[in-house]
A and B are shown apart, each in its own frame.
Chain A
Amino acid sequence: MIVWSVVKVGLLGLVVSGCWSEPGLVDDAFTPAQWTRLQAELTVPALDACALSTGTWAQPRCDRLARLGQQLFFEPAFSRNGATACVTCHDPGRWFVDAREDNQVSRSVTEQSTLGWTRRNAISVVNVGLTATLAPKQQVFTWVGKYASSGEVLALALTAMGQPKVPASYASVAGVIRNSPSYAAQYADVFARSSGLASDEQVFQDVELAFEAYMRRLGSVDAPFDRYLAGDASAIDDRARRGFAVFVGRGTCIECHRGPAFTDLQFHSTGVPQVGHAPAVDPGRVEITDAPDDTGRFRTSSLRNIAETGPYMHDGALASLDDVIWFYRRGGGVAGYEGDKDPRLTPLELTDDDARDLEAFLRTLTGAEIDPSLRVDLRMPMACAGATCAP
């Protein structure tokens, strides 16, 4: 009888204790359902560097197209001053961000062909292929979402380099291809037509495609966090794990930085004050949509490789991750911005430890460096341009 009573008490204890412990939380933060959802949401999909905006290209030809694009990425002849190329602001040695001067905003070329300042910070072009895969044919490129493909950004680049996107620019771009035997030969090889016979606009669009093909190869998605998400618990340390819980939880960062690229590819105003040498105001996405609600809104930045791609925000106003986290801990900016701040930005109840954990997590989003072969200038010296100098 006593034994039976003890057994009953023991069973009751087991039942009670079973009800009292938090069942199977992942990293003490997420229920199994939440974890499954996070895995599905944040896992990088299969990427095809040759699935371009105009269709999927066959491999050998796609490679040659990307090679042409890589050369053009380093080509300053597109610019009005003949000295500015894509790499001027997207430094291949610095994760394709602008690493010059005080890094407040990107340098550019004014219409007077002198070096000046843009009002916006250059976005890294690393992982633009992921962006294009996540939002095919959607206007999500640039800070304000002006273009639907990374190649189309050429138009913006030309504008920044002093070339408005008008027929005159088409002719200018086509001229660079036609006037270079190397480019002309590669063009003819890749597109199976002569740049000399194609229209200026056609050549312009083909150059856009070459840029796209190149930039789609600038992928870096195998970060420690990706391995952790796939089940390798040792891929990130405890601090970063706690930081991920803050990122999803109290930090509410995931509200906008969601998806495999850690961006919703939407446009929000976080109240970033306009700084730098450029005009004191930046109207943001309203430039594109003319919708008053879009005033002051900019695209959510991807957080992949974020530790390497500072300074941060659309105007590079924040120099470090610590600055960014502090900015959001305060609930975003308080003055010096256009439009209405997203109401979800309210002061966060994060401790200093939370902030450090969060930063540790953000540092786990840095993937492998871009293949060095994609970061070198492959252009032929103009002097030896021609069949004998072909790479």
Chain B
Amino acid sequence: MRTVTLALALAWSAPAFAEPSSEPSSPPAEPASDRPAPSPPSLASPIAIDELLERIAHLEARDRDHARTERAVAATHKEVQTLLPLRRFITVFVDVGAFAVAGDGSGIRSDRDHVLYPEYVDRVPGEWVFMGDPLSTAINSNGEPASTSNSRELDTDTIHGTSGLIVNAIGLSIGKDVGHGVAIASLVEVLPRPGQNLLDVELAHVDYRPSDELDLVISAGKIDSVLGIEYRSQDALRRLGVTPSLLCRYTCGRPLGLEARLVQGRLSTSASITNGDNFEQRFTPAHALRANALPTVAGHVQWVLPVGQGDGQGVELGVSGALGPQDDQPMTSIAQWHVGLDVRVRNVRRWNVSAEYVQGLQQGFTSSPTAACNVAACLRYKAAYVLVDRPVKPWFVPYVRVDWRDALHEHGVEFVYESHTLRATLGMHLEMTSRIIGKLEYTFNRELGRIPAFPNDVITTSVVVATD
């Protein structure tokens, strides 16, 4: 090594040695082709040995620097290789959109002076007799309405406007198999909102697969609901459209509890035992932890009919239900129950259809002869939707959804919500790339029964950009 270094040093230093002698006796310029081959440096030149040794030492120092740099590069490369798998279990997405909602941005109006619901005179102030659906003007996948207006039960007005641009969510999704059949999953969303940014831990659970031969997963933590089918695609990344259906509030919750999912052939079953109901909790964050003495049990059974043999083809029929003590009430004996039916037709002649029907009751509790449900709110509801889509191109999917909700929610003199709403949503889903999805939809909101028509149609868009 030292020899090579010495040779290189000599070669590099040769011109320097030649310069003093050649410069004064430089001949006139001649054609290059006629130039004689350069002669080797003359060892007879007067070179100071000390200078040569100094140059050798300098070169050796640079060689050490080079080696050191090579080691650093190798270490960095190794570190990068170690971190690269993160890309496979971390997904970051940003959901931005623009929206406009008719009227005052809310889906409710007060029955001022008890014009339409006189039965509530002397029971509930007319201002607090709400007609319509407070979530019918949802503008994003979170289901946030553009405005909650003067609503009293649903009073978290996160957007409070009728139109504008919005960052719907910044999401961080983590899913990682940690070995021995154990995996972790979480979804955290940041919702930048005027005045109050929200940090929402949507999912945080540990999954355990006890056997490779049995398709059984047991989960614990903040888990998905097991009711119906819409919860499976409720986040912006997965949702076909922009907004949830009117019944998602009852089935898309993510309660704390235990859950088991088992798939055996054409039969899928899932069951959960949770702190409280499976209602969407986004709008009642204070109640995320339920103080019920007994848990809520829920289950879903689904059967896949042998329709079609193509990729992803099939017809799925499901039934689900939940039973438990009503949340936020003084006695465990006050019950709530929920039943639902769901159907999904997948890729039959390129058509996809999803449909659900749910019905439920929260009994509530009354201690006053004049104010119904004054101790615990009463809720009875029925809701359904049908969602149809057919891909025109792999990247372009138009869709239509019709949903309906009929509900009565009352709580003493605090409020009554008379919700009788029919909606139709037209939309299109554009997968610009595998990481960029655009959606546009228009929702016609119509009130039924005694509720007069009022403007609350919604046009909203969403662009979701995600990492792999």
Residues of A within 8 A of B (CB): 16, 19-23, 29-31, 33-34, 37-38, 41, 248-252, 254-255, 258, 343-344, 346, 349
For residue B2, give the distance in angstroms from its CB to the closest CB of chain A: 85
**Are B113 and A346 interface neighbours, CB within 8 A?**
no
How many angstroms from the CA of A58 to the CA of B116 in the assembled complex?
43
Which 6 A-B residue pairings sit nearest by Cβ, starting from the closest?
A: A20-B102, A252-B125, A344-B413, A255-B125, A37-B115, A343-B413
**Are B371 and A343 interface neighbours, CB within 8 A?**
yes
The interface residues of chain A lying within 8 Å CB-to-CB of B102 are 19-21
Q: Does B3 touch A at the CB level, under 8 Å? A: no
**Are A254 and B113 interface neighbours, CB within 8 A?**
yes
Known A19-B457, A343-B368, A343-B413; contact A252-B115, beta-carbon cutoff 8 A? no
The interface residues of chain B lying within 8 Å CB-to-CB of A248 are 112-113, 126-127
The interface residues of chain B lying within 8 Å CB-to-CB of A33 are 115-116, 452
**Are B103 and A22 interface neighbours, CB within 8 A?**
yes
Contact with A along B444-468 (1 / 0, CB 8 A): 0000000010110100000000000
Give the residue of A34, A250, A346 whose beta carbon is less than 8 angstroms from that of B150.
A250
Closest residue of chain B to A33 (Cβ to Cβ) is B115
For residue B322, give the distance in angstroms from its CB to the closest CB of chain A: 31
**Are A21 and B455 interface neighbours, CB within 8 A?**
yes
How many angstroms from the CA of A7 to the CA of B294 in the assembled complex?
62
The interface residues of chain B lying within 8 Å CB-to-CB of A343 are 368, 371, 374, 412-413
Known: A249-B150, A258-B113; 6 extra A-B contacts, CB below 8 A, are A22-B455, A23-B454, A37-B115, A248-B127, A249-B127, A252-B127
**Are B126 and A255 interface neighbours, CB within 8 A?**
yes
Give the residue of B104, B112, B374, B455 whose beta carbon is less than 8 angstroms from that of A23.
B455
Give the residue of B113, B127, B368, B454 whose beta carbon is less than 8 angstroms from that of A38.
B113
Q: Does B110 touch A at the CB level, under 8 Å? A: yes
How many angstroms from the CA of A23 to the CA of B454 in the assembled complex?
8
**Are B454 and A22 interface neighbours, CB within 8 A?**
yes
How many angstroms from the CA of A390 to the CA of B116 in the assembled complex?
59
Give the residue of B112, B368, B414, B455 whose beta carbon is less than 8 angstroms from that of A30.
B112
Closest residue of chain B to A21 (Cβ to Cβ) is B455
**Are A249 and B110 interface neighbours, CB within 8 A?**
yes
Q: Does B128 touch A at the CB level, under 8 Å? A: yes
The interface residues of chain A lying within 8 Å CB-to-CB of B126 are 248, 252, 254-255
The interface residues of chain B lying within 8 Å CB-to-CB of A22 are 103-104, 454-455
How many angstroms from the CA of A33 to the CA of B112 in the assembled complex?
10
For residue A252, give the distance in angstroms from its CB to the closest CB of chain B: 4
The interface residues of chain A lying within 8 Å CB-to-CB of B374 are 343
Q: Give me 13 A-to-B residue pairs in the complex whose CB atoms sit less than 8 angstroms apart, sorted by A's number.
A: A16-B457, A20-B455, A22-B103, A31-B109, A31-B452, A33-B452, A41-B113, A248-B112, A248-B127, A252-B128, A343-B412, A346-B414, A349-B150
B window 355-372: CB within 8 A of A: 368, 371
How many angstroms from the CA of A29 to the CA of B113 in the assembled complex?
12
For residue B212, give the distance in angstroms from its CB to the closest CB of chain A: 56
The interface residues of chain A lying within 8 Å CB-to-CB of B455 are 19-23
The interface residues of chain A lying within 8 Å CB-to-CB of B457 are 16, 19-20
Interface size class of B (residues with CB under 8 A): 20 to 34
B window 70-129: CB within 8 A of A: 102-104, 109-110, 112-113, 115-116, 122, 124-128
The interface residues of chain B lying within 8 Å CB-to-CB of A31 are 109, 115, 452, 454
The interface residues of chain B lying within 8 Å CB-to-CB of A20 are 102-103, 455, 457
How many angstroms from the CA of A226 to the CA of B63 in the assembled complex?
100
For residue A15, give the distance in angstroms from its CB to the closest CB of chain B: 11
How many angstroms from the CA of A282 to the CA of B270 in the assembled complex?
62
The interface residues of chain B lying within 8 Å CB-to-CB of A252 are 125-128
Known A20-B457, A249-B127, A252-B128; contact A34-B371, beta-carbon cutoff 8 A? no
B window 110-161: CB within 8 A of A: 110, 112-113, 115-116, 122, 124-128, 150
The interface residues of chain A lying within 8 Å CB-to-CB of B122 are 255
Closest residue of chain B to A266 (Cβ to Cβ) is B122
For residue B367, give the distance in angstroms from its CB to the closest CB of chain A: 11
How many angstroms from the CA of A255 to the CA of B122 in the assembled complex?
7
For residue A59, give the distance in angstroms from its CB to the closest CB of chain B: 37
Closest residue of chain A to B371 (Cβ to Cβ) is A343
The interface residues of chain A lying within 8 Å CB-to-CB of B414 are 346
Known A20-B102, A343-B412; contact A34-B113, beta-carbon cutoff 8 A? yes
The interface residues of chain B lying within 8 Å CB-to-CB of A41 are 113
The interface residues of chain A lying within 8 Å CB-to-CB of B413 are 343-344, 346
How many angstroms from the CA of A343 to the CA of B411 in the assembled complex?
12
Interface hub of B113, B115, B454 (most chain A Cβ within 10 A): B113
The interface residues of chain B lying within 8 Å CB-to-CB of A34 are 112-113, 115
How many angstroms from the CA of A249 to the CA of B111 in the assembled complex?
9
Known A19-B457, A343-B412; contact A250-B127, beta-carbon cutoff 8 A? yes
The interface residues of chain B lying within 8 Å CB-to-CB of A23 are 454-455
How many angstroms from the CA of A33 to the CA of B194 in the assembled complex?
35
For residue B453, give the distance in angstroms from its CB to the closest CB of chain A: 8
How many angstroms from the CA of A343 to the CA of B457 in the assembled complex?
35
For residue A38, give the distance in angstroms from its CB to the closest CB of chain B: 6
Known A23-B455, A33-B452; contact A249-B371, beta-carbon cutoff 8 A? no
The interface residues of chain A lying within 8 Å CB-to-CB of B115 are 31, 33-34, 37
For residue B358, give the distance in angstroms from its CB to the closest CB of chain A: 29
The interface residues of chain B lying within 8 Å CB-to-CB of A346 are 413-414
For residue A36, give the distance in angstroms from its CB to the closest CB of chain B: 8
For residue A73, give the distance in angstroms from its CB to the closest CB of chain B: 36
Closest residue of chain B to A254 (Cβ to Cβ) is B113
The interface residues of chain A lying within 8 Å CB-to-CB of B412 are 343
B window 403-454: CB within 8 A of A: 412-414, 452, 454
For residue A248, give the distance in angstroms from its CB to the closest CB of chain B: 5
Known A20-B102, A21-B455; contact A344-B368, beta-carbon cutoff 8 A? no
For residue A18, give the distance in angstroms from its CB to the closest CB of chain B: 9
For residue A144, give the distance in angstroms from its CB to the closest CB of chain B: 19
Closest residue of chain A to B445 (Cβ to Cβ) is A19
Give the residue of B104, B112, B116 whose beta carbon is less than 8 angstroms from that of A249.
B112
The interface residues of chain B lying within 8 Å CB-to-CB of A30 are 112
How many angstroms from the CA of A41 to the CA of B368 in the assembled complex?
29
Interface hub of B103, B124, B414, B457 (most chain A Cβ within 10 A): B103
The interface residues of chain B lying within 8 Å CB-to-CB of A250 are 127, 150
The interface residues of chain B lying within 8 Å CB-to-CB of A37 are 113, 115
How many angstroms from the CA of A23 to the CA of B104 in the assembled complex?
12
For residue B12, give the distance in angstroms from its CB to the closest CB of chain A: 77
How many angstroms from the CA of A310 to the CA of B414 in the assembled complex?
30
How many angstroms from the CA of A250 to the CA of B116 in the assembled complex?
18
Closest residue of chain B to A29 (Cβ to Cβ) is B112
For residue B149, give the distance in angstroms from its CB to the closest CB of chain A: 10
Closest residue of chain B to A343 (Cβ to Cβ) is B413
The interface residues of chain A lying within 8 Å CB-to-CB of B103 are 20-22
Closest residue of chain B to A16 (Cβ to Cβ) is B457
For residue B164, give the distance in angstroms from its CB to the closest CB of chain A: 15
For residue B256, give the distance in angstroms from its CB to the closest CB of chain A: 31
Closest residue of chain B to A342 (Cβ to Cβ) is B413
Interface hub of B116, B125, B368 (most chain A Cβ within 10 A): B125
The interface residues of chain A lying within 8 Å CB-to-CB of B112 are 29-30, 34, 248-249, 254
Contact with A along B365-395 (1 / 0, CB 8 A): 0001001001000000000000000000000
How many angstroms from the CA of A248 to the CA of B111 in the assembled complex?
10
